[in-house]
């Protein structure tokens, strides 16, 4: 019978780690053949074990990822703070304007308050006819909102009395003003 203390002590990784503040662990991993050969060549050129090269590469990679993460985190916090500040300034300005409008409304005599705005009149209200024209500059069709370019054919709405300018694209004129092919000038 042999006593454990008589023979050489079996390697005990936990006992070895107790004196080492880093408490390193052994990891086993599979790597492609090409990577294994590159690691071996690098280790030989540096005259260090392959495990040291792998450890250094992993430590550098983790440090780099951590540094990038911290930088991105800092930039995001800075951006968030700037956005918060702009939103606060904008909201304070809006609140001040609304408060001022509210005070003006509450303090003005009832007779001086402007009446509720009337809904806009129909775009063709008061138009008694249309005059064909060739546009000299870009415009927008009053009825369809379509962009009209300089040089396009359009129609000018002629009003009885005052009102906004009415320019209408040919296809939007409510009455076909184009002469029919069978009509003749007698």
Q: Is the pTM of this model over 0.75?
A: no
Q: What is the mean pLDDT of the chain?
A: 78
**Main-chain dihedrals φ then ψ at residue 141, nearest 5 degrees:** -65, 125
- Distance of alpha carbon 63 from alpha carbon 126, whole angstroms: 76
Identify the band that residue 140 occupies on the pLDDT scale cut at 50, 70 and 90.
very high
Residue 6 in this model has a pLDDT that exceeds 50: no
pLDDT band at 136 (very low <50, low <70, confident <90, very high): very high
Residues counted in the chain: 186
Q: Cα–Cα distance between 113 and 107 in angstroms, integer?
A: 10
pLDDT at 162: 84
Q: Which of 122, 132, 136, 127 is nearest to 162 (CA)?
A: 127
Q: What is the mean pLDDT of residues 162-186?
A: 72
Q: List, for residues 48-93, the tens digit of each pLDDT value.
A: 999 899 999 888 989 888 888 888 888 888 888 888 887 877 777 7
């Amino acid at each position: 019978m042999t006593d454990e203390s008589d023979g050489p002590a079996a390697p005990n990784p936990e006992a070895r780690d107790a004196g080492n503040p880093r408490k390193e662990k052994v990891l086993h991993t599979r790597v492609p053949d090409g990577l294994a050969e590159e690691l071996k060549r690098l280790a030989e050129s540096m005259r260090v074990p392959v495990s040291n090269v792998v450890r250094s590469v992993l430590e550098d990679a983790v440090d780099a990822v951590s540094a990038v993460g911290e930088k991105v985190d800092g930039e995001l916090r800075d951006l968030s703070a700037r956005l918060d500040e702009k939103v606060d300034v904008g909201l304070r300005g809006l609140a001040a304007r609304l408060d001022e409008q509210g005070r003006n409304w509450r303090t003005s005599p009832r007779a001086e308050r402007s009446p509720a705005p009337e809904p806009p009149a129909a775009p063709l209200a008061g138009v008694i006819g249309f005059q064909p024209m060739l546009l000299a500059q870009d415009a927008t069709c009053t009825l369809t909102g379509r962009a009209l370019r300089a040089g396009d054919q359009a129609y000018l709405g002629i009003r009885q009395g005052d009102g906004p300018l009415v320019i209408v694209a040919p296809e939007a004129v409510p009455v076909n003003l184009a002469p029919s092919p069978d009509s003749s000038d007698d």
